[in-house]
A = this chain, B = another copy of it.
Amino acid sequence: LSGRDDIAISPETRAKVLDAVEKLGYQPNSAAVALNKGRSGLVGFWMSLQYSRYRGQVLDVMRTLLSSTEMALAVSDVDEEFQWDRNLSRALRVSVDGIIAFDNSISLDAFARNRARLAPNTPFVSMGAFWSEALSYVGVDLRAGADQAMRHLLETRRRRIAYVAPLGSGLVDSGPRFDGYRSAMLEAGLSLDTIATQGAEVEQIKEALAERLSQGRMPDALLCMNDDIAVSASSALFLLGLWPGHDVALVGFDGIKETQHGLVPITTVRQPIEEMCALAFEFLKAQIEDPTAPPLQRLLSPQLIVRESSKP
């Protein structure tokens, strides 16, 4: 019935069994299978379902990766779960063989804090911008990416460089991207300029930029916290009569497809999505094989891709 060839079975019995299966509409009980095998065949994928195209593309890659496997993905939305310590046990109730936590510091912290107590041996890999040294991770060194981007902007003689991030993201004045921005600016003797937007929509970026324009202090380069913002900024600049790449340089983060074609191809700090996902899954599988093995850790570097929007 379960398609093994190392076992002999008479044609008649096989037919009888298959027949019964058909007749009764038999479906294996997954809880029983999971209990017996000690495996559920499920990978818990913790991510924020707040939209960004980058997240969407990562989920897609992950799904494609798993689809060639016997494993399936169970997505848990870890948005705004501020009381994570309470919610953690609920999230852990899903019978998964392991967890991949993507780009989410809150759930990662909560898990790291309570691992010993709640899930001592649950394979866990964090993936993306956040990690804990105590756990397995595939990190992406956004700080290094920000450094690359800033070096590029400074080398191409931009001086009034602003950092753009949405209000309420917690990234307006902190995080590896901002840190890279700040230290590069200070080192170059330039003063910081942060633009906090209401969101990532063209309209919202335009509003923020229009204010700068009217005050006569439009930057000559924008380091955008992600590509969604950079793409929107590109449109916003156009609407304000400015040429992205000419009047104002534009750099984004993530490397989503939409940066390639558009009004102007946009320079971006590309995250190694495929490698990151493949590695995270590999690490998870290894942890599942041997849950007692020491954590597997790897720091990936994003790569600056220079395009029209920041050509010298």
Interface residues of A (CB under 8 A from B): 25, 27, 29-32, 34-35, 40-42, 49-51, 56, 59-60, 63, 67, 72-77, 79, 87, 90-95, 116-120, 201-203, 235, 239
Contacts and interface: CB of A to CB of B under 8 A. Distances in A.
A77 to B, nearest CB: 6
A50 B56 CA distance: 7
Contact of A93 (B25, B51, B72, B116): B72
A59 B77 contact: yes
A91 B76 contact: no
Contacts of A50: 56
Contacts of A73: 76-77
B31 A49 contact: no
B42 A94 contact: yes
A83 to B, nearest CB: 10
Given A31-B31, A31-B40, A235-B203, A72 B56 contact: no
A63 B77 CA distance: 9
A29 B51 CA distance: 33
Contacts of A51: 51, 56
Nearest to A86: B67
Nearest to A53: B51
A74 B74 contact: yes
A31 B30 CA distance: 9
A51 B51 CA distance: 6
B93 A42 contact: yes
A66 to B, nearest CB: 9
Nearest to A24: B120
A7 B73 CA distance: 40
A91 B116 contact: no
A30 B93 contact: yes
A87 B63 CA distance: 12
Contacts of A67: 87, 90
Given A31-B95, A59-B77, A72-B90, 10 more contacts: A25-B117, A27-B120, A30-B94, A49-B75, A50-B56, A72-B91, A75-B76, A201-B202, A202-B202, A203-B235
Contacts of A201: 201-202
B95 A27 contact: no
